[in-house]
Amino acid sequence: MIGYIGIIFGAIFVILSITILLYYLIITLKASDNFEFDLARQGNILLGILLIYFLFFGFISNIYKKSIEDDLIFLYRVIFFPKSDSYLSIFILMFIVFIITIREHFYEYAIRNSIWLVPIILLMSWIWHWIIYGFDFFIIIIFFTSIEGYLTILFLLGVNVFTSLLTSFVKYKYKEYIGKPIIK
């Protein structure tokens, strides 16, 4: 029963995320006269949100089931103190950032999108925690008043930016190798 509730709340979260993103785009469209809407760039961040939700958190929930406790909030524990195969989640996160970065035409947008994934991952981890253990706003206070919360933010930011920079460099060298013109 709880699995169906989690799926429903997850689907609601994804729909709300897409709605907020579209609302932001409409406000930006009204604010500027020469705004050009590129659906591929917006599709990349939406693809990232869906992959984070289904691949990253799906893998973690498949490993831990309901015994994850506060490790779901402090995600660095899942990587540094793994239970069975949970260390593979860092490679899943790196793969997701790789997919987002490789699809972008401009490296700056790819790095920006990888940075934007950090608050999305944190928000999803809080929502997953609330789905499993019930709503408790106190967990956010614990997150921001403990050093473990900031370790989680720095860890996620480091992994995302490092992967994005590495992928951008590899993409640059690949375009240079095949002789394709590089946009500067």
Mean of per-residue pLDDT scores for the chain: 79
State how many domains the chain has.
1
* 161 vs 82 pLDDT, higher one: 161
Tokens of 52: 């984070």
Contact 60, 86 (CB under 8 A): yes
Q: Is residue 28 in a domain? A: no
15 occurs within a structural domain: no
Q: Is residue 149 part of a domain?
A: yes
- pTM as predicted: 0.75
Is position 184 within any domain?
no
In a domain, 2, yes or no: no
Q: Which domain holds residue 147?
A: 38-178
Determine the average pLDDT of the residues in 20-30. Answer: 63
Whether 39 has a pLDDT exceeding 80, the answer reads no
Cα(90)–Cα(84) distance, rounded to whole angstroms? Answer: 14
In a domain, 85, yes or no: yes
Lowest-pLDDT range, 38-42, 103-107, 135-139?
A: 38-42
Would residue 23 count as lying in a domain? Answer: no
Res. 33 pLDDT band, cuts 50 70 90: low
Mean pLDDT along residues 91-109: 88
Nearest to 72 by CA among 139, 1, 160, 157: 139
Q: What is the mean pLDDT of residues 71-93?
A: 81
Residues near 172 by beta carbon (within 8 Å), at least 6 away in sequence? 107, 182
Residues 6+ apart with CB under 8 A from 89: 56, 59, 60, 63, 78, 79
Average pLDDT over residues 146-163: 92
Whether residue 47 lies inside any domain: the answer is: yes
Q: What is the mean pLDDT of residues 47-52?
A: 88
Closest CA to 17 of 54, 56, 45, 59: 45
